[in-house]
Chains A and B, each alone.
Chain A
Amino acid sequence: MALLRVENLHKRYGHEEVLKGVTLTQEAGETKVVIGPSGTGKSTLLRCINRLTEPDQGQVWLEDLEITSRRSDINQIRAKIGFVFQDFNLFTHLTALDNVRLGLTKVRRMPRAAATDRAMAELDRVGLAAKAGAYPAQLSGGQQQRVSIARALAMDPKLILFDEPTSALDPELIGEVLSVMIQLARDGMTMIVVTHEMGFARSVADEIVFMEGGVVVEQGPPEQMFRSPQIPRTGEFLRKISELYGESS
């Protein structure tokens, strides 16, 4: 069974339909990169998956659990799905350690000592154990994003959703975040990543999904998408975006 299934997802804001029936399947251990022009519903899609935004229509399944069902405990489901935001959204009043620990003690109800050990281990994994006592404002953007990845990892998520994780970063800070994500992908973490980083997409993604106008235009392995896209618009977009953002990393 697929880890995640998104079926015919629709979302409308006022008169504008942002998602016009998106269907996706995600296997465990797979890294999927979602690309497309801005305003085509990529972020909305991610937010509809864990219902930070309520979809109007369609279903999302995490294994045999229907996320979109009114009867499912959404908090319990969200605890299994990591979410990394474009602008980090670390809790401003908490240290890096407390940011990572909060979900463990308050959602998982883990004893404090065990939570501390786990949180330190995750900070270490993103290379920031030394910054455990720092507040978000004392960290660079790249460091903040790595803490937010540690915060997601600490919950033992079945998958992590990344919503343009490097778009708010200065160019010289993008690399440190991408290398953490590359390591995660190699370790077998299941990830859906909305990004413009074509280098990352090309070298790490198992599948690239091209979205435009609220629908999936084309999807396939990176080689096929970059070399021989089936739909002309896909190739056109990929060429344009590769020129714009380069293929570093």
Chain B
Amino acid sequence: MNLSAWTEIAPHIPVLLRGILVNIELLLGLISLGLGVGVVTALVEVYGPRPLGWAAGAYTWFFRGVPEIVLLFLFYFGLSQFGVPVSAFFAAVLALGLRSSAYQAQIFRGALQSIPHGQMMAARALGLGRVKAIAYVILPQALRLSLAGWSNEFSSVLKDTTLAWGIGVVEVMRQASYIRARNFTLTLPIYITVALMFLVLTYVGNVAIGLAERRLRVPGLEGRR
């Protein structure tokens, strides 16, 4: 690999940035979907009626058990086969988001179960209904406890967005392959550039989560019995 390859890649940077922007969009979409569905799934598993809890368990088993690339194909080709035409981007958000929800549900379930029973009892004794007690007393504590595990999931799904390449989403890996197809000498510099982009994103994301963690920290919540 010669030096000129590195100067030659400069004009392609905007295209790669446009690509990684799509990865960021995928990330925001899938992680929000995963967060919403994950919290609900965890709540159902911990507080829901038995049959619903089983359903939630089966749900997480499925989405944790099937490879991501298979999920992507199932959603992209499967939905259109059933007459629901979906864009590759939407299929990717759905498949990766639901998969992430299964992992996030595990994080939240663990946190919910670690809240001492006395908290719920004290809330109910005040006259708060079950839903209010969960909303004002249990969840605020459980979500804080989840942040560390959640930052792990964040780093993981950030990188998984490149798998959307497999169903044709024009994200950074696809842009990279276009550039490479026109100029094979750029192969290594391109993928090194892509790698650096993800390293920066992972760093920025984890710093942001770390800041949130510090901001939301409550004395005695993490380090208690």
Residues of A within 8 A of B (CB): 50, 52, 75-81, 83, 85, 87, 89-93, 102-103, 106-107, 135-138, 148, 151, 155
Q: Is the CB of B122 within 8 A of A106?
A: no
> A13 CB to closest chain B CB, in angstroms?
16
A83 proximity list for chain B (CB < 8 A): 122, 125
Q: Is the CB of A78 within 8 A of B124?
A: yes
Measured in the bound complex, the distance between the Cα atoms of B126 and A148 in whole Å is: 11
A102 proximity list for chain B (CB < 8 A): 126, 128, 136-137
Q: Is the CB of A106 within 8 A of B218?
A: no
- Cβ of B100 within 8 Å of any chain A Cβ, yes or no, is no
Q: Is the CB of A78 within 8 A of B140?
A: no
* Chain B interface SS verdict (over half): helix
Q: Is the CB of B132 within 8 A of A93?
A: no
Query: B65-82: contact bitstring with A at CB < 8 Å (1 yes, 0 no)?
Result: 000000000000000000
Closest to A82 in B: B125
Measured in the bound complex, the distance between the Cα atoms of B121 and A50 in whole Å is: 11
A50, A79, A93: the one within 8 Å of B221 (CB): A93
Q: Is the CB of B220 within 8 A of A85?
A: no
Q: Is the CB of B126 within 8 A of A103?
A: yes
B118 proximity list for chain A (CB < 8 A): 85, 87, 89
- Cβ of B141 within 8 Å of any chain A Cβ, yes or no, is yes
A52, A136, A148: the one within 8 Å of B124 (CB): A52
Q: For chain B residues 88-124, which have a beta carbon within 8 Å of chain A? A: 116, 118-119, 121-124
- Cβ of B144 within 8 Å of any chain A Cβ, yes or no, is yes
Classify chain B: how many residues form its interface, as a range: 20 to 34
Q: Is the CB of B141 within 8 A of A106?
A: no
- Cβ of B129 within 8 Å of any chain A Cβ, yes or no, is yes
Query: Can you list 17 pairs linking A and B with CB atoms under 8 Å apart?
Result: A50-B125, A52-B121, A78-B125, A79-B127, A80-B127, A85-B122, A85-B125, A90-B122, A91-B137, A93-B144, A103-B126, A135-B220, A137-B219, A137-B220, A138-B219, A148-B122, A155-B126
Measured in the bound complex, the distance between the Cα atoms of B121 and A83 in whole Å is: 10
Task: Given A93-B144, A135-B218, A135-B220, verify A75-B129 contact (CB < 8 Å).
Answer: yes
A78 proximity list for chain B (CB < 8 A): 124-127
- Cβ of B215 within 8 Å of any chain A Cβ, yes or no, is no
> A225 CB to closest chain B CB, in angstroms?
29
Q: Is the CB of A75 within 8 A of B128?
A: yes
- Cβ of B182 within 8 Å of any chain A Cβ, yes or no, is no
B129 proximity list for chain A (CB < 8 A): 75
> A78 CB to closest chain B CB, in angstroms?
4
> B130 CB to closest chain A CB, in angstroms?
9
> B52 CB to closest chain A CB, in angstroms?
22
Task: Given A92-B141, A93-B141, A107-B128, verify A138-B220 contact (CB < 8 Å).
Answer: yes
B137 proximity list for chain A (CB < 8 A): 91, 93, 102
Q: Is the CB of B126 within 8 A of A151?
A: yes
Measured in the bound complex, the distance between the Cα atoms of B128 and A81 in whole Å is: 12
> A165 CB to closest chain B CB, in angstroms?
13
Closest to A53 in B: B121
Measured in the bound complex, the distance between the Cα atoms of B157 and A83 in whole Å is: 45
